[in-house]
Structure 1
């Protein structure tokens, strides 16, 4: 006769096996959903200044501020098993020594309607989310992004403290699908079954401008003010 403890172990083992098989089946259903993400990204305004990029910075250094426009269709990444989508934009360039550099300048989390309660947002925004999600288990329109002259969340710096006039920089759109059950999947470089690689999502090459110092700004302001005063003195 098996003891009560042995029977409890058998029941628990059977339960975990069933849960694992069910979870694997749920995760496998994502392979049957086509993924066709696409995007167009371009720069709008680029500045390089010298200062403290963060309040906790101990010294002044050069940092770049890149404004961009983005139109992306990530709606195919939302399925019934999608919990939320993490979207971010990076600036990529290669240093003279052949070192690849990647810096995140903007990110955002897009939740599925069933996961809206996980959003750490205010009550007004939460009401709008709930209103848009009424009667829906999947909201593909949440995967449509249209940003114009978007201000970056993070500035670009470099360990050397210098980043001005860096050449061959590109902006890239990335995503990370976080399912309810299964593994995290990142943006893919090559297609896999019904999952296609990102179409577009890369900007043209550009060069960061020369350093824009505060002295230059002050001189420009003085020149403009002196010009205005001269015009006002004319009869």
Structure 2
């Protein structure tokens, strides 16, 4: 004869197994929804200004300021398993030593499909600095608008919505 506790244990084990199987089906079905959103990205030439850093007050480091225009429709990425999107703008360039660098200069979190149509004109949100303190030997840079789909259940997926075809040049400005 079974006690009440063993019956509760059997029922809860069965329900948790059913829940896990349902979550596994949800995670696997997310791979059926493949969307390829497209957008446009236009970047004006990057203005470079000399500035002093807070960490090393005697050291002058160059800061890059990027003005950009983003327009993208990311609504195809939203389906019943999408919790939110993480959208970010990356700058890719090669420094004087030949090292490829990738820097995130702007980001946004999109939580609703109504907010997934992006039309944004702005400038970089984060500091754009070269670690060698000078952009002098960096000829140009490429930019890409990337996204990260965060599901309720399952694996994070990454993608690219827009990319600059032509390299964007650096323009040195006098400090005002």
TM-score by length of 2: 0.83
Larger Rg: 1
Alignment partners' CA distance in 1, 2:87 and 2:144: 11
Separation of aligned partners in 1, 2:13 and 2:169: 59
Give the TM-score of the pair, scaled to structure 1: 0.64
Deviations 1:83-133 (A, max 9, x none): 111100010012243321001111001102xxxxxxxxxxxxxxxxxxxxx
1:73: Cα distance to partner?
Answer: 1.7
Q: Which has the higher helix share?
A: 1
Residue segments in structure 1 that go unaligned for 5+ positions in a row: 113-138, 188-197, 218-235
Greater share of residues in strand: 2
What is the distance in 2 between the residues matched to 1:50 and 1:72?
33
Q: Which residue of 1 aligns with 2:84?
A: 84
The question of 1:207 aligning with 2:162 is answered: no
C-alpha deviation, 1:13, in angstroms: 4.1
**CA 1:205–1:45 in structure 2 vs 1: closer, same or farther (change >3 Å)?**
closer
Q: Is the 8 A contact 1:164 1:209 kept in 2?
A: no
Kindly indicate whether the alpha-carbon contact (under 8 Å) linking 1:42 and 1:204 is maintained by their aligned counterparts in 2: no
Aligned residue-pair number:
174
1:22 matched residue in structure 2: 22
Cα distance in structure 2, aligned partners of 1:52 and 1:14: 64
Query: Corresponding residue for 1:171?
Result: 143
**CA RMSD of the aligned region, Å?**
2.5
Distance in 2 separating the partners of 1:9 and 1:97:
64
